[in-house]
Amino acid sequence: MIYIMIPILSSEIDVFFLERMKNLLARIKKRTDDFSFIFCIQYKAIEKKCESNIKKIFTENLVILNSETIGVSVARNKCLNYALSLAADNDCLYFLDSQIWVSSHFLEYMLVFAASKDDAMLGCFQFVDLTFLDFNNEPFKLNKKTTIQHESIRNFKKNTLSDDVNFIKNCTMSRWLFKANLLKNSSFNETLGPGDKTTIKSAEDVYFLYELSKNKKFNVVNVPYYVYRESRPKDLSKHTLYAKGYGAVLAFLFKNEPRKYALTMFLYLVNTLRFFFINYKLASVRLSSLFIDLNEHVTDTSK
């Protein structure tokens, strides 16, 4: 079983999101029994219409959880805890962000990975304008038997150890697929990430992956299949919002593993200098965030 966990704000359940979900279900129609969906809808106030819109699309293998606390880490933890209560050790856990579109090749290899003994899978990522994706002309749907065989794909996939993964470059959670046994006793730190009660509005994904790698050594299967996300806005205000967390977690990782993150730090400083000529506020936030002690902002939210 592959548990797809979707933390989402009630305001994000719009027509476009529902169309993406319909398309996703259409592509896995012949393999429905292999997938289970767990939503955690974050509300300011309970809005039953959001739930009913989702239930109209998903006729089976659906669980909807609620959270009145607005925070992606809180919602992910609710999904994760529920999935772990059901999953066998070799079942798979996947965090699907609401703004992500998953390619059919990525979906197909999920099934290949699920039948393997590997610990984690890492796909590719690209920013695109999702409004131009033609959901109705997806190249193929999943068949009852996967067309990609696990052994044959070894010719062009690459296995690495978790210690060798740069988590800054590979932090998008929807690129990752984990075996359930790997995520036991793991959780997102609820003081990090977008949310009403957090002071650092990002870095929750990097910090989660880093903590996971320190608690458990695991192998990572790198596959050449994509997930896509809506292109970043040209308005730099949102970049400024997340810059504090990015710089703080980079400084944290560089302090703990200087050789591994030296190049990432160098490129960060070069781009920060460039931003001084484009957006002084953003550049100032990026620079000052390097002096934040991340340990002072996180609390122990482990189980």
Query: What does the domain layout of the chain look like in residue ranges?
Result: 2-231, 235-303
| Least confident window among 238-242, 251-255, 268-272 | 238-242
Query: So what's the pLDDT on residue 159?
Result: 79
Taken in order 268, 271, 277, 279, the sign of the CA dihedral is negative
Taken in order 5, 35, 108, 28, the sign of the CA dihedral is negative
Which residues make beta-bridge pairs with 101?
228
User: In this prediction, what percent of the chain has a pLDDT beyond 90?
Assistant: 45
Count other Cβ atoms within 10 Å, centred on residue 40: 22
Count other Cβ atoms within 10 Å, centred on residue 19: 13
Query: So what's the pLDDT on residue 50?
Result: 81
Q: pLDDT band for position 148 (50/70/90)?
A: very low
Q: pLDDT band for position 253 (50/70/90)?
A: very high
| Least confident window among 96-105, 146-155, 294-303 | 146-155
Q: What's the rounded Cα separation, in Å, for the pair 106 and 170?
A: 16
292-296, long-range: CB < 8 A, 24+ apart: 292/200, 292/244, 292/247, 292/248, 292/251, 294/200, 294/203, 294/207, 294/248, 294/249, 294/251, 294/252, 295/252
Q: Are strands 100-102 and 219-230 parallel, antiparallel or unpaired?
A: antiparallel
Q: How far is the first Cα of the chain from the last one, in angstroms, to the nearest whole number?
A: 24
**pLDDT higher than 80, residue 155:** no
Q: What's the rounded Cα separation, in Å, for the pair 146 and 268?
A: 41
Question: What is the per-residue DSSP string for 94-109?
Answer: EE--TTEEE-HHHHHH
Nearest-5° angle of CA 80, CA 214, CA 298? 65
Dihedral Cα 247, 170, 212, 85, nearest 10 deg: 120
Query: So what's the pLDDT on residue 51?
Result: 83
C-beta separation of 114 from 3 below 8 A: no
Q: What's the rounded Cα separation, in Å, for the pair 176 and 174?
A: 5
Q: pLDDT band for position 234 (50/70/90)?
A: low
Q: Is 8 helix (H, G, I), strand (E, B) or coil?
A: strand
Give the list of residues 6+ apart from residue 262 with CB closer than 8 angstroms, or none: 254
Taken in order 207, 210, 214, 220, the sign of the CA dihedral is positive
User: Please, what is the average pLDDT of the chain?
Assistant: 85
**pLDDT higher than 70, residue 300:** no
Query: So what's the pLDDT on residue 302?
Result: 46
Count other Cβ atoms within 10 Å, centred on residue 25: 16
Q: What's the rounded Cα separation, in Å, for the pair 195 and 71?
A: 4
Q: pLDDT band for position 131 (50/70/90)?
A: low
**pLDDT higher than 70, residue 158:** yes
Q: pLDDT band for position 195 (50/70/90)?
A: confident
**pLDDT higher than 80, residue 224:** yes
Q: What's the rounded Cα separation, in Å, for the pair 295 and 293?
A: 5
Task: Give burial (CB, 10 Å; 0-12/13-18/19+) of 83.
Answer: buried
CATH number (3.40.50.2300, 3.40.50.1980, 3.90.550.10, 1.10.3720.10) of 2-231 reads 3.90.550.10
Altogether, the residues listed in the chain come to a count of 303
Q: pLDDT band for position 279 (50/70/90)?
A: confident
**pLDDT higher than 60, residue 92:** yes
